Structure 1
Amino acid sequence: MTLLLDSNTFLTPAMTYYAFDICGSYWSWIAHAAATGDVKSISPVKRELRQKDDQIRHWIDMHASNIFMPDDSAVTNTMAQVATWAGSNGYTTAAVAEFLGKADSYLVAYAMLGGHQIVTLEVAAPAAKGKIKIPDAANAHGISTITPYQMLRQHGVRF
C-alpha cells in the first residue's frame, strides 16, 4: 500500500522539527521512499507546495518526478463521492467549498481509487462542522490516516 502525503507532511516539518538544515535525513528518506513507491503524493498537493518561492518549492522541483503521481481522470468518480459526502453531512457551505477547493478532497479521492493510506498531521474533529478534516473524510470512505511519525516508525526509519 502506498502512503499518500498531505501538504502538511512537507510544510510543517520544513518549518519546524525537520528543517532542511537540521534534519536533511527526513528529506532524503522521503525522496528514497518515493523512488521505491512506498510514498507518493498527488498533483494538487504539488500545486499547493509550489505557491511560494522557498526551500520546499526548490526541493519539490528537484524530486517531483518521483513523488507526485500524474493527474488521473479516473479520480472523477471518486471525487463525486467525496463531494456528495461533504455536502450531505451537515458541514457549512463554506467548509464544503474550502475542502473541495484544496488538495484535501483529492487526497481522499485518490486514496479511495488506489486503496492508499493518507499521511497527515490533521486530527479528526467530526463534531466540528466549520471545517472538514482529512481524517474525518477518509474515515467516512474507509480510508485510514496516519501521522508522519507513524509512517517513519512503520518503515523503521531512524535519524
Structure 2
Amino acid sequence: MEYLFDTNIFVESKKNLPMDVWPTFWTKMVELISSGNIYSIDMVKDEIDRGGDELTDWIHNNAPRGFFLTQDMAVMAKLVETIAWAQNCAVHFSQSAIVDYVKVADSYLVATAAARDMVLVTYEKSNPQRRNRVMIPDACNAIGVRTCDLNTALRELGIFI
C-alpha cells in the first residue's frame, strides 16, 4: 500500500518532533520517501515552501522530484468528482468553504489518493456537519478513499522508532 501525506503531517511533525531532538524519526521519513512507500503532491510542496524554514530546507534536501506527484488525467477526473460532491453535499457547505477546498491542496490530495488507490495520511478529523470547511476525511469517505493518521501509517509500514 502507498500512502499520500497531507501538509499537516510534515508541519505538525516539525512542531512536535523537532529535527534536532528526533533525528531518528526524520531519518526514517527519508527512508520511507526513498523506498517509494510514501508520497505527497506538488501543491503540498508549495505550501511547505511558503514556510521558508527548516522544514522547507529538509524537503528540498530529502524529497526527490518523484516524491511530489503531479496531476494527470485520472487525478483531474477524480478532482471533478470530489468538487461535485462538495458542491452537492447534503451539509451545504458555504461557498467560501468550497472555494477554499478547491484552492488549497486538500481537493487535489483527495483526488490523487482516489486516482492512485492510496491511503491519505492526515491529522484532520471527520466532521460531517461542518459547513465552513470541507474536511479531508469527509471528502475521502464520500468518494471511497481511506484515511489514517501518521501513527497508523507508520504501524502499517512496520516503522517503529
- Taking structure 2 as the reference length, what is the TM-score of the superposition? 0.93
- Gap regions ≥5 residues in structure 1: none
The residue number in structure 1 matching 2:115 is 113
C-alpha contact (below 8 Å) 2:3/2:121 kept by paired residues? yes
- Gap regions ≥5 residues in structure 2: none
C-alpha contact (below 8 Å) 2:30/2:63 kept by paired residues? no
**Number of residue pairs matched?**
158
**Correspondences of 1:4-83 after superposition (within 5 Å):** 4-16=4-16, 18-65=17-64, 67-83=67-83
- Residue by residue over 1:40-98, the C-alpha shift from the partner in whole angstroms, topping out at 9 and shown as x without a partner, is 11101111111021011000111231532244343211111111111111111010011
The residue number in structure 2 matching 1:97 is 99
Quote the RMSD (CA, aligned, Å). Answer: 1.2
Counterparts of 2:72 and 2:62 in 1: how far apart (Å)? 20
Counterparts of 1:100 and 1:30 in 2: how far apart (Å)? 28
Find the residue that maps to 2:63 and give its secondary structure: helix
Counterparts of 1:25 and 1:67 in 2: how far apart (Å)? 20
Counterparts of 2:135 and 2:119 in 1: how far apart (Å)? 15
Offset of 1:155 from its aligned partner?
Answer: 2.0
Counterparts of 1:67 and 1:36 in 2: how far apart (Å)? 10
Comparing 76-85 with 65-74, greater Cα deviation is found at: 65-74
Q: Which amino acid aligns with 1:98?
A: D
Counterparts of 2:155 and 2:60 in 1: how far apart (Å)? 27
Find the residue that maps to 1:35 and give its secondary structure: helix
C-alpha contact (below 8 Å) 2:7/2:44 kept by paired residues? yes
C-alpha contact (below 8 Å) 2:71/2:112 kept by paired residues? no
% identity of equivalent residues: 30
Counterparts of 2:68 and 2:140 in 1: how far apart (Å)? 20
Distance change (3 Å), C-alpha of 1:9 and 1:115? same
Aligned match for 1:152, one of 143, 151, 154: 154
